[in-house]
């Protein structure tokens, strides 16, 4: 091997650089356990870490699991590598991750521009909690850079975008909004949960911060809830890391360990799920009982060009409406046998959601109507099942309305 110019000193694959995405999702951030040689990072299920002496406090890097934990740290390093960031912090939920970004970016009397189509929990957090402390929010059509520019005020400190957006898949031009934020000295954070870094890497497009609900595609198995924030620089990482420790909204070691295992199959799962979603979207678009289909991979999608340009795939989320409105939609959901009615997404199982009564129930009706989240809209998170079985289930359910 030495004759081929390959060092015999490399002790683990993490020393080989650069690595492809799928290699990184398996190997980045982890190495065999130095005590036992275990190929899996151990679950360091401990509250505290014994110190050698007062003078050598933190010599091993850990003191108390609220501040840092080796299992969680392995996941943080992996996610940072996948997004191409400076570093990552992990949290108990995706909403805790968004909370950390808001708290690190905004004080009372300051302002943020937020995507007008976003997860209902984001809207609830902004309007029901942080507005009480004097933080201002403008929910803007971030798919329109001019609208974002018009929404910026002298006290704007954060632009928070979600793309593709939950639930109707509206896309935001990350590069264009990042250029606006950079020119005004404003932080741009992107919720990248729907596409993951396998398909979309916002930091490469100019964003400052990436947010994930790790509950979704990184876990992929409906087993955990968690969140992550990846930053592009130390200056952005330090205040967010302070919030993580001070507020205590940390990820548990067991959740981190499970998520580490989910990460290893992210790309192969998402490829299959996205391929299934494309076939299902085309089936639904051609069905006479379906009135609209929202999927970035359809040529009929209003932002197909943008979705094709800024991401390497279209993802496994789609939305649709059926003729007959709310009652027809309820009948369809009730007739489904394979697609489960549930509030998660990104898992190996196909899940269907009625956003108005589930994920976006806390969004004011006037706001939902304004941004096109109608009472009859259904959101489908496509899983790994055989696509023929999924289409058969949808077909028989459509026959019932």
What residue spans define the domains of the chain? 13-263, 266-398
pLDDT per position as a tens digit, 15-61:
556 899 999 999 999 999 999 999 999 999 999 999 999 999 999 99
Judged against a pLDDT cut of 50, whether residue 363 lies above it is answered with yes
Per the residue annotation, which of 66, 124, 289, 330 is the catalytic one?
Answer: 66
**Residue showing tokens 């704007």:** 156
pLDDT per position as a tens digit, 288-309:
999 999 999 999 999 999 999 9
- With bands split at pLDDT 50, 70 and 90, how would you rate the model's confidence at 12? very low
Judged against a pLDDT cut of 80, whether residue 2 lies above it is answered with no
pLDDT per position as a tens digit, 197-225:
999 999 999 999 999 999 999 999 999 99
pTM for this model (two decimals): 0.94
Asked if CATH classification 3.90.1150.10 holds for the domain at 266-398, the reply, yes or no, is yes
pLDDT at 10: 42
Compute the average pLDDT of residues 387-396.
Answer: 98
**CA neighbor of 301 nearest in space, from 324, 288, 285:** 285
Burial zone of 159 (CB within 10 Å; 0-12 exposed, 13-18 middle, 19+ buried)? buried
Q: Which secondary structure element, helix H or strand E, spans residue 95, and what is its range?
A: helix 94-105
pLDDT at 4: 42
Backbone angles phi, psi at 252, to 5 degrees: -80, 155
pLDDT at 16: 55
Give the pair of three-digit tokens for residue 29.
């951030």
**Residue showing tokens 């924030």:** 229
Phi-psi region of 246 (alpha: psi -120 to 50; beta: other; left: phi over 0): alpha
**Active-site residue, 24 included:** no
Per the residue annotation, which of 87, 141, 173, 191 is the catalytic one?
Answer: 191
Percent of the chain's residues with pLDDT above 70: 96
pLDDT per position as a tens digit, 145-170:
999 999 999 999 999 999 999 999 99
Per the residue annotation, which of 216, 241, 272, 379 is the catalytic one?
Answer: 216
Q: In what order do the strands lie in the sheet with 111-115?
A: 87-91, 227-231, 209-213, 187-191, 156-162, 111-115, 136-140
**Active-site residue, 66 included:** yes
Domain 13-263 sits in CATH at 3.40.640.10
Give the pair of three-digit tokens for residue 36.
């036992």
**Active-site residue, 157 included:** no
**Active-site residue, 119 included:** yes
Q: How many CB atoms lie within 10 A of CB 208?
A: 24
Cα angle 83, 89, 93; round to 5: 100
């Amino acid at each position: 091997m030495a004759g081929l110019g390959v060092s015999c000193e490399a002790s683990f694959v993490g020393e080989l650089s650069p690595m492809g995405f799928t290699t990184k999702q398996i190997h980045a951030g982890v190495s065999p356990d130095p005590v036992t040689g275990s190929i899996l990072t151990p679950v360091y299920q401990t509250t505290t870490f014994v110190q050698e002496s007062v003078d050598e406090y933190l010599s091993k890097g850990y003191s108390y699991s609220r501040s840092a934990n080796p299992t969680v740290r392995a996941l943080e390093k992996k996610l940072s590598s996948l997004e191409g960031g400076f570093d990552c912090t992990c949290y108990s939920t995706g909403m805790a991750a968004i909370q950390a970004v808001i708290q690190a970016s905004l004080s009372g009397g300051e302002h943020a521009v937020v995507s007008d189509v976003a997860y209902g929990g984001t809207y609830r957090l902004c309007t029901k909690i942080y507005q009480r402390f004097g933080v201002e929010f403008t929910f803007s059509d971030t798919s329109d850079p001019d609208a974002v520019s018009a929404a910026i005020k002298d006290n704007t400190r954060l632009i928070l975008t979600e793309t593709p957006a939950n639930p109707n898949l509206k896309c935001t031009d990350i590069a264009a909004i990042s250029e606006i934020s950079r020119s005004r000295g404003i932080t741009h954070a992107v919720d990248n949960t729907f596409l993951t870094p396998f398909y979309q890497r916002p930091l490469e497009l100019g964003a400052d911060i990436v947010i994930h609900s790790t509950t979704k595609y990184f876990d992929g198995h409906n087993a955990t809830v968690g969140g992550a924030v990846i930053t592009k620089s130390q200056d952005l990482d330090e205040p967010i890391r302070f919030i993580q420790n001070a507020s205590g909204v940390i990820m548990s070691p067991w959740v981190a360990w499970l998520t580490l295992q989910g990460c290893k199959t992210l790309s192969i799962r998402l490829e299959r799920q996205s391929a299934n979603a494309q076939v299902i979207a085309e089936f639904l678009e051609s069905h006479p009982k379906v009135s609209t289909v929202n999927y970035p991979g359809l040529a009929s999608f209003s932002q197909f060009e943008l979705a094709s340009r800024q991401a390497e795939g279209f993802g496994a989320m789609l939305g649709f409406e059926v003729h007959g409105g709310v009652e027809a939609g309820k009948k369809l959901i009730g007739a489904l046998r394979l697609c489960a009615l549930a509030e998660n997404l990104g898992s190996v199982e196909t899940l269907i959601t009625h956003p108005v009564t589930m994920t976006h129930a806390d969004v004011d009706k006037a706001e939902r109507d304004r941004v096109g989240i109608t009472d009859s809209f259904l959101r489908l998170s496509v899983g790994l099942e055989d696509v023929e079985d999924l289409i058969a289930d949808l077909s028989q359910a459509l026959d019932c309305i």
